[in-house]
Amino acid sequence: MEVLPMKDLLDEGLEALAGLLQSGALSCHPETEERLARLGRDFEDNGLHTGAQLLTEVSQALSRRRHGGETSSMELMDRVGPAVRYIRLCQQKYALDAAGEQLRQGIGEADDEEGPPQAP
């Protein structure tokens, strides 16, 4: 099993949902359902429990729909919307955390270059 970096995992989750929206979910391939189920497991493995639940719900709704269940297009989209919002929020948090880490590293490097504080 390949472990994706958090940024790549979030990007793949959003890409999978965007693909589902672009296809309209009417002609969804079994591979899309399987991909979303796998991503749900990957999200869970990375501690993104809410995202895992949301992606699993989308996958299950697709499965019911493909097997003649009663999942309507609107019900499916009602599951996709929160999943997309969750992933976008995670991406924003990841970007803020990465920027904060870069800032901390930059400050640490600047402190190292200046040397120890001198007494006046």
Residue 14: what pLDDT? 96
Give the residue from 106, 90, 119 showing the smallest Cα distance to 5: 90
Is residue 112 in some structural domain?
no
Is residue 25 in some structural domain?
yes
Is residue 46 in some structural domain?
yes
Residue 24: what pLDDT? 67
Quote the CA–CA distance of 91 and 95 in Å, as a whole number: 6
Stretch 10-21: mean pLDDT:
93
Q: Give me the DSSP letters along 46-74.
A: TT-HHHHHHHHHHHHHHHHHHTT----HH
Residue 83: what pLDDT? 97
Residue 116 above 60 pLDDT? no
- 51 lies in which domain range? 6-103
Is residue 45 in some structural domain?
yes
Residue 13: what pLDDT? 97
Cβ–Cβ under 8 Å, residues 46 and 6 = yes
Is residue 21 in some structural domain?
yes
Domain count, the chain: 1
Is residue 109 in some structural domain?
no
Q: What's the token pair of residue 22?
A: 């672009």
Residue 66: what pLDDT? 75
Reported as a single tens digit per residue, the pLDDT across 42-83 is: 999 999 999 999 999 999 988 887 777 666 777 888 899 999
Is residue 115 in some structural domain?
no
Is residue 116 in some structural domain?
no
